[in-house]
């Protein structure tokens, strides 16, 4: 094994396999009786859902089922995708946790927000059936700038989060920091824009669930580094 020190560039070993078609992806798994899901997503950054009709989609060739937010509500046990962050504000109050529904039925809050899923025998049939879903929106003012979202009169995305503020917290004693700055011989001020951080894998988020009705067990195939977390 080649020795190397801190800061030394390390040549990646896995790239050749992935860029020459020898990698294994979720699409390479085809289980017996496997069905395919395709989502209807919002084209609007902020809008009310006025009507949603899945009648034609349900009768499309190969379609097994069509699920919407109302079906999620009727199920009653999977109506929220919780946030694991537990940050408290300056007064010790917990941060606001918006209710993140698997499928929205009343309002969408970003482009790509999930509204419905079509399950069909093939991917093409699922995709075609999604296009048969009839939906009507009432477009609402949106917020695309985090700084401007805190200004008076900005569009309110979550009514419970007043002024679009989720949480205001500090890691240090502000009085101590102010004293240090005041005593400094020179002070420079700069406004910084913190860029969004998101992973960009070669394969997006996807999964295959293999449920055994006889044993009541589920095998989940998914590209993830957090195997233990997904298991829990």
3-state secondary structure string, 157-210?
CCCCCHHHCCCCCCCCCHHHHHHHHHHCCCCCCCCCCCCCCCCCCCCCCCCEEE
Assess if residue 40 is contained within a domain.
yes
CA-only gyration radius of the chain, Å: 24
Q: Residues 154-174: what's their mean pLDDT?
A: 88
Q: Can you tell me the distance from the alpha carbon of 66 to that of 116, in angstroms, rounded to the nearest whole number?
A: 7
pLDDT tens-digit map of 177-225: 889 999 999 999 998 887 777 777 778 888 999 999 999 999 988 888 8
CATH number of the domain at 96, please: 3.90.1170.50
Assess if residue 224 is contained within a domain.
yes
Domain with 39 in it = 26-231
Confidence of residue 100 (pLDDT cuts 50, 70, 90): confident
Assess if residue 225 is contained within a domain.
yes
Q: What is the pLDDT of residue 2?
A: 62
Confidence of residue 1 (pLDDT cuts 50, 70, 90): low
Assess if residue 213 is contained within a domain.
yes
Assess if residue 7 is contained within a domain.
no
Q: Are 130 and 53 in contact (CB under 8 A)?
A: no
Q: Which two tokens stand for residue 130?
A: 């999604």
Q: Can you tell me the distance from the alpha carbon of 229 to that of 232, in angstroms, rounded to the nearest whole number?
A: 5
pLDDT tens-digit map of 22-36: 888 888 888 999 999
Q: What is the pLDDT of residue 49?
A: 98
Q: Can you tell me the distance from the alpha carbon of 78 to that of 203, in angstroms, rounded to the nearest whole number?
A: 26
Global pTM reads: 0.81
Assess if residue 92 is contained within a domain.
yes
pLDDT tens-digit map of 41-73: 999 999 999 999 999 999 999 999 999 999 988
């Amino acid at each position: 094994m080649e020795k190397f020190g801190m800061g030394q560039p390390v040549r990646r070993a896995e790239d050749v396999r992935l860029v020459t078609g020898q990698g294994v992806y979720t699409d390479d798994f085809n289980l017996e009786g496997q069905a395919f899901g395709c989502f209807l997503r919002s084209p609007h950054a902020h809008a009310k859902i006025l009507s949603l009709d899945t009648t034609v989609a349900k009768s499309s060739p190969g379609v097994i089922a069509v699920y919407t937010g109302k079906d999620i509500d009727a199920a009653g046990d999977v109506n929220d995708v919780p946030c694991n962050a537990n940050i408290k504000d300056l007064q010790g109050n917990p941060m606001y946790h918006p209710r993140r529904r698997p499928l929205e039925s009343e309002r969408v809050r970003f482009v790509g927000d999930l509204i419905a899923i079509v399950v069909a025998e093939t991917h093409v049939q699922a995709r075609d059936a999604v296009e048969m879903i009839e939906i009507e929106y009432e477009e609402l003012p949106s917020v695309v700038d985090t700084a401007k979202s805190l200004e008076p009169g900005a569009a309110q995305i979550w009514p419970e989060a007043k002024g679009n503020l989720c949480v205001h917290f500090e890691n240090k004693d502000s009085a101590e920091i102010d004293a240090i700055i005041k005593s400094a011989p020179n002070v420079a001020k700069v406004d910084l824009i913190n860029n969004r951080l998101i992973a960009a894998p070669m394969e997006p988020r996807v999964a295959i669930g293999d449920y055994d009705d006889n044993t009541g067990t589920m095998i989940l195939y998914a590209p993830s580094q957090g195997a233990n977390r997904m298991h829990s």
